[in-house]
């Protein structure tokens, strides 16, 4: 299969501008988050694709710092919610309070009314509170006392969770896992990276970081809209569909990836192309993010789980088997 490269000169200029902003953003974040360029790139893809990101890892691996740094560099409002077993839905979405001066009930909005929401240790909250995030994550709106309120744009949830094996955690429901565009882990720094972290801390002379603002909420929304000009060839669409369909056909899987996975690959492929300054998607854009976008949506059979087989194994196998479309240059 061959793929035609698409788009006119105005589309190329627009994407060049998006690429410039996105790469400046990643460079700014990389001054704080050391040795994690792939993670930084994937978070940037997630934000451009207007998706929610789940970071699963052990405590102390810069999950919170990553979210905060991105929010500051984006010039966006940032709120952090520490999820605990006693957290109630009203604590995050808000409630109506009686105003004695006016004699009316007025909304008191919760921390969801922000641009970048860090839902810290999301799997420590009970399912009812986790479910309260669903509407916000998918619809970019919340309902308080039967009245719907739109959330500010952009709205991106970056959630962190500790590995399920840890005590006092509630596994996220399948419906909620599916609403995360991608799931990733940070991993421990190696010796050189950890030494660089300490060297930079010594140089700064303080615990905090000085982060330059690269964009604004308005610009972020414009960048997200600009992705609509990125060309996706029918051959790439077929490639995406084939990868997702095969997750449903594996005999070790109870539930494969839903159609949301295809849409997530489509949007993220466009974002990856734009970051690289291209106004057309190539197979590597899809392959480079497929693991993080599809693996967490796959539900394994008990016998496969016992043998240690995960969604990651399934997706790696599929990526190695599905024929890759060939790009026709110029």
Give the per-residue pLDDT at 4. 40
Residues 6+ apart with CB under 8 A from 43: 29, 53, 66, 70, 158
Per-residue pLDDT tens over the stretch 65-83: 888 899 999 999 999 999 9
For tokens 């969604």, the residue is: 311
Give the per-residue pLDDT at 1. 36
3-class secondary structure, 153? coil
pLDDT digit string (tens) for the chain, length 330 residues: 333 445 555 888 899 999 999 999 999 999 888 888 999 999 999 999 999 999 988 777 888 888 889 999 999 999 999 998 889 888 998 888 887 888 888 888 889 999 999 998 888 888 888 888 877 888 888 888 888 889 999 999 999 887 765 666 777 877 788 889 999 988 888 898 889 888 888 888 787 788 889 999 999 999 999 999 999 999 999 999 999 999 999 999 999 999 999 999 999 999 999 999 999 999 999 999 999 999 999 999 999 999 999 999 999 999 999 999 986 644
Give the per-residue pLDDT at 317. 95
Give the per-residue pLDDT at 165. 58
Sort strands 141-144 and 78-82 into parallel, antiparallel or unpaired: unpaired
Per-residue pLDDT tens over the stretch 274-292: 999 999 999 999 999 999 9
CATH architecture, domain defined by 2-327: 3-Layer(aba) Sandwich (3.40)
Query: Buried b / exposed e across 187-226, counting CB within 10 Å, b at 16+?
Result: eebeeeeeeebeeeeeeeeeeeeebeebbebebbbebbeb
Which residues does residue 231 pair with via DSSP β-bridges, in sequence order?
Answer: 280
């Amino acid at each position: 299969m061959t793929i035609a490269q698409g788009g006119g000169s105005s589309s190329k200029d627009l994407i060049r501008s998006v690429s410039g902003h996105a790469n400046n953003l990643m460079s700014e974040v990389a001054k704080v988050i050391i040795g994690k360029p792939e993670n930084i790139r994937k978070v940037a893809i997630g934000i451009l694709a207007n998706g929610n990101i789940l970071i699963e890892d052990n405590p102390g691996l810069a999950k919170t710092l990553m979210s905060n740094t991105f929010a500051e560099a984006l010039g966006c409002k940032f709120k952090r919610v520490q999820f605990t077993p006693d957290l109630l839905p009203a604590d995050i979405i808000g409630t109506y309070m009686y105003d004695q001066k006016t004699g009316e009930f007025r909304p008191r909005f919760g921390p969801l009314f922000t641009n970048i929401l860090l839902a810290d240790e999301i799997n420590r909250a009970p399912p009812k509170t986790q479910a309260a995030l669903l509407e916000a994550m998918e619809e970019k709106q919340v309902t308080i006392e039967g009245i719907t309120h739109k959330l500010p744009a952009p709205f991106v949830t970056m959630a962190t969770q500790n590995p399920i094996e840890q005590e006092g955690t509630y596994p996220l429901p399948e419906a909620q896992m599916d609403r995360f565009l991608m799931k990733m882990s940070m991993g421990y720094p190696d010796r050189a990276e950890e030494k660089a972290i300490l060297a930079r801390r010594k140089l700064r002379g303080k615990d905090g970081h000085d982060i330059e603002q690269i964009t604004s909420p308005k610009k972020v929304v414009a960048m997200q809209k600009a992705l609509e000009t990125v060309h996706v060839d029918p051959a790439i669409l077929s490639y995406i569909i084939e990868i997702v369909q095969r997750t449903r056909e594996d005999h070790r899987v109870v539930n494969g990836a839903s159609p949301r996975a295809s849409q997530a690959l489509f949007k993220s492929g466009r974002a990856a192309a734009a970051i690289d300054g291209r106004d057309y998607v190539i197979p590597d854009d899809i392959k480079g993010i497929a693991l993080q976008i599809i693996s967490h949506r796959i539900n394994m059979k008990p016998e496969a789980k016992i043998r240690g087989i995960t969604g990651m194994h399934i997706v790696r196998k599929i990526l190695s088997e599905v024929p890759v479309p060939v790009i026709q240059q110029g």
